[in-house]
Structure 1
Amino acid sequence: MSPRLTKNWSGNDRRSIAREIGMNRFTIGMALAGAMVFSSAAAAQDDESARATRWNELAQEIFVGKQLQNGDAKISLEAPDRAFDAALVPITISVQNPEDVKSIYLVIDDNPAPVAAHFTFGPAGDPQSLKLRVRVSQYTNIHAVEETKQGVLYESHRFVKASGGCSAPSGSYDQAALAGIGDMKLRLVGDPNPGPLREAQLLIRHPNFNGMQMDPATQGYTPARFLKSIDATFGGALVFHLDSDISLAADPAISFVFKAPSKGKLAITARDSDDAVFEHSFDFDSQGS
């Protein structure tokens, strides 16, 4: 409480009052700052609690009746803390024991369609590393879930700050975006003589319209048309089958590892939501394409 002023107050009194007022202001300021910090911390805890609740609900819907275990020692997920472009968020998934892996799920918790990708691996596949790009609608946890051949589920996650990726304009619309749809390229990565395992990047031209992007020319929403599945085989043996949805970025670029011990043909079949089928094959041997 500030001292009362009297008729006989002196300069010393004035300085004393000033000091007390200053201290009171400092105390009030510190109290307000503390309250703000506490409020921010409480909000962060609430956000974390809400994210945990959201994930529990999703996990029950996606993995009905199954329990998920902490997979930080089994599967890792790399993603930027803050995405430069929410419509092109790069994701890298790595597993420690690829020979034990049956499939991998990528789940973007707060996207309109959370299951962005589900890779199932065949005898010609090696799930040690996957890379792809996705759309992110808002700040969210992203989960990578490994399903072992024994049916055990391991999860790892990252929190990513990105927003607006699902409704962001693709930069081209309608006929311009559909020109060359289904065209494919394959790039081999790394040492040209690496042995029986090869890493490749598959590029597919497809706008992956999700129905939420507005065409500025018409002021209407561009109808959804997106890739729903991709099958990759080598020498007739399955490398991977991918089930995807509207969270996959436009013009998908997917890096994967496969077994190519000898000459063979890597064949790709992609299907979209309009039931269009796109096929391409790449001939190469174990020494390169």
Structure 2
Amino acid sequence: MTRSRVRLLCITSLLAIGLGTGLTPAAGTDAYDPWPGLVQDIFNNRAMNDGSDVVAIEMPARAEDAAIVPVTLRTKLSPADGRRVVSITLVIDKNPAPMAAKFALGADANVSEISTRVRVNNYTDVHAVAELSDGKLYMTKTYVKASGGCSAPAAKNADDAKARLGQMRYRQFAKTGQGPASGTREAQIMIGHPNNSGLQMDQVTQLYIPAFFVNELRLWQDDSPVLAMEGGISISEDPNIRFTYVSNGAKRFRAEAKDTDGHVFQHEWKADDSGT
């Protein structure tokens, strides 16, 4: 999503809140359902099939902190199913920019679980839409009570955020009974970045901080794609992605991230390295 598009969505949301136009309903109300319009805007009005046997979404029913709400996406296809999950799109319906992230799953990585943290701006449905190799879309949803996550002040000050910009940490965890170089693995990638939403106010100048966020992340084991993310303003400060995959015996794990200001951050680790 372009920065101009994000800025327009943020301004529209602010005007709706400030002027009481009714475009953004009060927290806790369900008078307005944006989902049909989002199906058209994000998915080109493609048919949505029941995804209860395809993908699961887990979030707390009521968020403790609307700026860092945990979410887990889990594939549910039977091993005997000849199809595979190509991508999962996470949509937070009533956020200013509803498409939080789209995750593309590596063809040979067998990614089965993805966890991250998101901002939630209103009481809202949250949808997970899986695209399968049969070309069809499968949808499931949950409901989250939270408010103000997109406008919440940054947890770290600007100087700290600048010093940490683009710093990456990588951890991996062997599943029980699996060796360090093969089998199902659990890994985590963390990126130092303010991920400014465009709705946060500078506490000194009282001006809104421009949107500035990681909009692309790609992960490989050697040269084989594991996971790619197209991100938006709903991903929390310091993006943190935890996921499962099947190791192919690679020697290296590589990451590349890009943000909306054109910065490119790259790092690689030994495949059996669980440090920074």
**TM-score range relative to shorter protein:** 0.7 to 0.9
Distance 1:229 1:261 in 2: 24
CA RMSD of superposed structures (Å): 2.0
For residues 138-287 of structure 1, the aligned pairs below 5 Å read: 138-191=122-175, 194=178, 195-285=182-272
Structure 1: which 5+ runs fail to align?
Answer: 1-45
Verify the 8 A CA contact 1:192 1:288 in the aligned structure 2.
no
Indicate which of 35, 55, 60 corresponds to 2:35: 55
Q: Which amino acid aligns with 1:226?
A: F
Verify the 8 A CA contact 1:124 1:260 in the aligned structure 2.
no
Find the residue that maps to 2:122 and give its secondary structure: coil
Verify the 8 A CA contact 1:197 1:261 in the aligned structure 2.
no
CA positional deviation for 1:192: 6.6
TM-score, structure 1 as length reference: 0.78
- The aligned length equals 241
Q: What are the superposed Cα offsets for residues 206-251 of structure 1, whole Å, 9 maximum, x if unpaired? A: 1101111111122222222100100101110111111011110001
More divergent stretch after superposition (219-228 vs 109-118): 219-228
Q: Which amino acid aligns with 1:56?
A: P
Distance 1:73 1:80 in 2: 21
CA positional deviation for 1:172: 2.6
Q: Which amino acid aligns with 1:71?
A: G
Verify the 8 A CA contact 1:174 1:222 in the aligned structure 2.
no
Find the residue that maps to 2:110 and give its secondary structure: strand
Distance 2:274 2:194 in 1: 30
CA 1:149/1:65 → structure 2, altered by over 3 Å: closer, same or farther? same
- 1:93 partnered with 2:78: no
| % identity of equivalent residues | 38
CA 1:197/1:255 → structure 2, altered by over 3 Å: closer, same or farther? same
Q: Identify the structure with the greater helix proportion.
A: 1
Q: Which residue of 2 aligns with 1:37?
A: none
Distance 2:122 2:103 in 1: 24
CA positional deviation for 1:65: 3.8
Q: What are the superposed Cα offsets for residues 122-173 of structure 1, whole Å, 9 maximum, x if unpaired? A: 2343231110000011110000011001111111101100000000001233
CA positional deviation for 1:282: 1.2
Structure 2: which 5+ runs fail to align?
Answer: 1-27
For residues 129-144 of structure 1, the aligned pairs below 5 Å read: 129-144=113-128
Verify the 8 A CA contact 1:103 1:146 in the aligned structure 2.
yes
TM-score, structure 2 as length reference: 0.82
Find the residue that maps to 1:59 and give its secondary structure: helix
Q: Which residue of 1 aligns with 2:20?
A: none
Q: Which residue of 2 aligns with 1:9?
A: none
Moved over 4 A (4+): 46-49
Find the residue that maps to 2:234 and give its secondary structure: coil
Find the residue that maps to 2:155 and give its secondary structure: coil
Indicate which of 50, 55, 74 corresponds to 2:54: 74
Distance 2:167 2:108 in 1: 24
Verify the 8 A CA contact 1:199 1:257 in the aligned structure 2.
yes
Q: Which amino acid aligns with 1:93?
A: L
CA 1:126/1:49 → structure 2, altered by over 3 Å: closer, same or farther? farther
Q: Which residue of 2 aligns with 1:18?
A: none
For residues 103-142 of structure 1, the aligned pairs below 5 Å read: 103-142=87-126
Find the residue that maps to 1:125 and give its secondary structure: coil
CA positional deviation for 1:47: 5.2
